[in-house]
Amino acid sequence: MSSKLIIMERVFKVIGLMCLALFAMAKLHAAYGEQAAINEVKDLIASNQFLATNQIPNNQITKDQTSHKLNDVIKPEAALPKPNMSDWSQSRIDSFITAEPTSPLLGLLSIPSIRLEVAVFDGIAEVNLNKGVGRVIPSREINGDGNLSLAGHRDGFFRNIGQLTLGQELNITDLNGEIHRFRVVNTWIVKPKDTYVMKRTVKPSVTLITCYPFYFVGSAPQRYIVRAEKF
């Protein structure tokens, strides 16, 4: 083999290794960004300002809201269809396969227009968001009044919520089998610290929250919001 071919072969190997390294760094950065976004929401929820505007008064808490136990877990795998993962990131697919949530299952979110059916878990722990979507605490219960805020990953179950338009329907089925129907009334993009989207509403509402842009590499700088009201 000539010296030129040897040099070219070595150059291509170096370029290949650099590409692999850049890809790995991008994946790690994205994973770090998703976890950072979750931690940011948790920090905002823990702030007194957020609690003051969103916490449900004690005299409005029902028995259903206090009946969940940490060990009262319903496994959704047998009841839910396998999600369409064709446009998910590979890391999200891997996380879905291995995730075993320990939080209570609250119900099922269904959005026919984007062919989404996903389990709703109590809380936004990473393991919950790997297997479904999570209720942001504190926010209302599925069968309560006010604003039910649900968070999901942009490279997983909430990949296509940007396709939702005004008037389209989303449904939530609670553990009693009752279906609660909502229609989309607004979509918008906010900054991560714009917690007003999770504030209590006059009408029973659902607010879907995910990072944005949907295909951004790394820590996404914005949040995509879908608001739907009960009808």
Using left for φ > 0, alpha for ψ between -120 and 50, and beta otherwise, residue 59 falls in alpha
Other Cβ atoms less than 10 A from the Cβ of 156: the count is 25
| Cβ-contact 103, 123 below 8 angstroms | yes
Annotated catalytic, 153? yes
Instruction: Point out the catalytic residue in the list 29, 68, 180, 211.
Output: 211
Instruction: Point out the catalytic residue in the list 19, 29, 68, 153.
Output: 153
| Cβ-contact 147, 229 below 8 angstroms | no
Helix (H) / strand (E) containing 143: none
The backbone torsions φ and ψ at residue 59, rounded to the nearest 5 degrees and listed phi first, read -75, -5
Give, to the nearest 10 degrees, the angle between helix 90-98 and helix 3-46: 60
Annotated catalytic, 68? no
Q: Please, which residues have CB within 8 angstroms of residue 202's CB and are 6 or more apart in sequence?
A: none
Q: Which two tokens stand for residue 116?
A: 């989404």
Other Cβ atoms less than 10 A from the Cβ of 57: the count is 6
**Residues carrying an active site annotation:** 153, 211
